A and B are shown apart, each in its own frame.
Chain A
Amino acid sequence: MAKRIVIVGGGAGGTITANLLARNLHHELTTGQVVINMITNTPDHVYQPGFLYIVFDKVRSEEIVRKQRDLLDSHINLFVDPATKIDREHNVVHTQSGKEYPYDFLVVATGSRIVPETIPGLAEGGHFFYTLESAKKLRDALKDFEGGKVVISVGVPHKCPVAPLEITFMLYDYFKHKDMLDKVELQYTYPINRLHALEPVANWALPQFEGKGIKYEVLFNMEEVDPVKKVLKSMEGVEMKYDLLITVPPHKGAPVIEDSGMGKNGWVATNKQTLNNESYTNVYICGDTTDIPISKAGSTAHFEADVIAERISSQIQEGSTSTRYDGKVVCFVETGFDEATYVWFNYKNPPKPTPPSKMLHWMKLGYNRLYWLSAKGVL
């Protein structure tokens, strides 16, 4: 009987894994020895880093959304039918339509999502840019904004650790271009005791903030928002007035993870090197939904997908595997509208950011287009 690979989640990690598997296992797929089934919950594939550019009217939604079917190798079966339960004891995934998808190998790549409702008042009082709709809403609010205090605040945990700094620098340039810097006060807040989780990035950002007059409050964790009085309160006891509140709300994994008893708040116990879920050697976890204490980023999902595809292919073709994930993460960081920097690190090597340059900014813009080749497993 054919070996069945089921991939749950058609985002960055799931799509790259599926396409790499289709390439590695081309012979087995075309001769019926392997079947790849992808289960996802929407026919569209959204390039999430594009939301940042939607806010500033720099891209249109058509540029960051593609049909999932068009991104997948034609040998991969696609089912747009949300998974409702993953049963690891019986090796089967149940879906909303009542179907069952048995598997020999499973890849769970259901990502993470914002949960503003976990902070009282935030959904009513705050703006976000982590979904297409909220990014458009923020874009419109910025167009109408006539001046005042803009507070930027960050929930824990969250994906894309560089986005809070990027939006702050881009807001600065946005107001500068609109000749509004004299009417706007930018106030950044951050959960830990420096401007960014990555120490070298935090050290680099500090003089930038000081030079640009961006205020900052560190050790600030959102506790409550009063949308009527327009006050944000932190767990540390600070109260902050705002005219426009822009936040990265805290995140959780997909509901199917908790519903399947696979991990509190949707984070799945994952071996940081093999990417297996606990002792299940046929179950792999990819991307934001792992509980590995590293950045939740598209690049993380991509490098994990490389490892998972290699491991499953080898398990099928050779009966064993030795490929391991080394914790590699790569991030481009926009430092305004026309410069960017770049960091990479892994479990053993700490990050060393490169000085910002126009070229790195163009590389980030270039990657925004090249992403579609990444998703197809080409890049």
Chain B
Amino acid sequence: MADVKIDKTVDARGAACPGPLMELIKAMKSEDVGTVVEILSSEKGTSVDAPAWLKKVGQELVSVEQKGDYWSIVAKKIK
């Protein structure tokens, strides 16, 4: 994790709608291949849902980390 450079962070903490998973989908669809995106979420569910979706669509999960009262999900667009 320490050596991965994050290109973009979306702070979706407290964002009820469209919410962290939709922000991740948006980033994976619109960023360039190779981009590393971090999504911050205050919903515990995102720490499970986001990795599951990334796996389903074949994108790379870099890390999931709890940071106090929120979660950081880092993903890389690989295709």
Chain A residues proximal to chain B, CB less than 8 Å: 156-157, 161, 191-193, 197-199, 219, 221, 235-237, 250, 264-265, 293-295, 327, 329, 345, 347-348, 350-351
Q: A221-B25, A293-B10, A327-B14 are in contact. Are A197 and B30 (CB under 8 A)?
A: no
| Secondary structure type dominating chain B contacts | helix
Q: How large is the interface on B (under 10, 10 to 19, 20 to 34, 35 or more residues)?
A: 20 to 34
Give, as a whole number of angstroms, the nearest-CB distance from A329 to chain B.
7
Checking A157, A250, A350 against B18 with a beta-carbon cut-off of 8 angstroms, the contacting residue is A157
Q: List 9 A-B contacts (CB under 8 A).
A: A156-B22, A156-B26, A193-B21, A221-B29, A237-B56, A264-B31, A293-B12, A327-B14, A347-B14
Complex interface: chain B residues within 8 A of A191 (CB): 22, 25
Question: In the assembled complex, which residues on chain A have CB atoms less than 8 Å from the CB atom of B56?
Answer: 219, 236-237
Q: Are A294 and B25 in contact (CB-based, < 8 A)?
A: no
Closest CB-CB distance, B36 to chain A, in whole Å? 15
B contacts, CB < 8 Å to A: 10-12, 14-23, 25-26, 29-31, 49, 52-53, 56-57
The smallest C-beta distance from B14 to any residue of chain A, in angstroms, reads: 5
Given A235-B57, A250-B29, CB of A197 within 8 Å of CB of B18: yes
Q: Are A193 and B49 in contact (CB under 8 A)?
A: yes
The residues of B that contact A198 with a CB separation of less than 8 Å are 16-17
A1 to B54 CA separation, bound complex (whole angstroms): 56
Closest chain B residue to A252, Cβ basis: B30
- In the bound assembly, the distance between CA atoms of A329 and B18 in angstroms comes to 12
The answer to whether A157 touches B22, judged by C-beta atoms less than 8 angstroms apart, is yes
Please list the 4 inter-chain residue pairs (A to B) with the smallest Cβ-Cβ separation, ordered nearest first. Answer: A293-B15, A197-B17, A197-B18, A192-B21
Q: How far is the CA of A327 from the CA of B26 in the complex (A)?
A: 20
Given A157-B22, A250-B29, A265-B30, A294:B17 Cβ within 8 A: yes
Known contacts A157-B26, A236-B56, A264-B30, A293 near B21 by CB under 8 Å: no
With A192-B53, A193-B21, A294-B17 known, 10 other A-B pairs at CB within 8 A are: A156-B22, A156-B29, A157-B18, A191-B25, A192-B21, A221-B29, A236-B53, A293-B11, A345-B16, A348-B14
Whose C-beta in chain B lies nearest to the C-beta of A264?
Answer: B30
Within the complex, the shortest CB–CB distance from A35 to chain B, in Å, comes to: 37
Query: Across the interface, do A350 and B22 meet the contact criterion of CB distance under 8 Å?
Result: no
Q: Find chain B residues with CB under 8 A from A351 CB.
A: 16-17
* Cβ contacts under 8 Å, A156 to chain B: 18, 22, 25-26, 29
**In the complex, chain A residues whose CB is within 8 Å of the CB of B23:** 293
Knowing A191-B25, A265-B30, the reply to whether A236 touches B19 (Cβ < 8 A) is no
Which residues of A have CB within 8 Å of B17? 161, 197-198, 294-295, 329, 345, 351
Assess whether B29 is in contact with A161, with CB atoms less than 8 Å apart: no
Report B-chain residues with C-beta under 8 Å of the C-beta of A221: 25, 29, 57
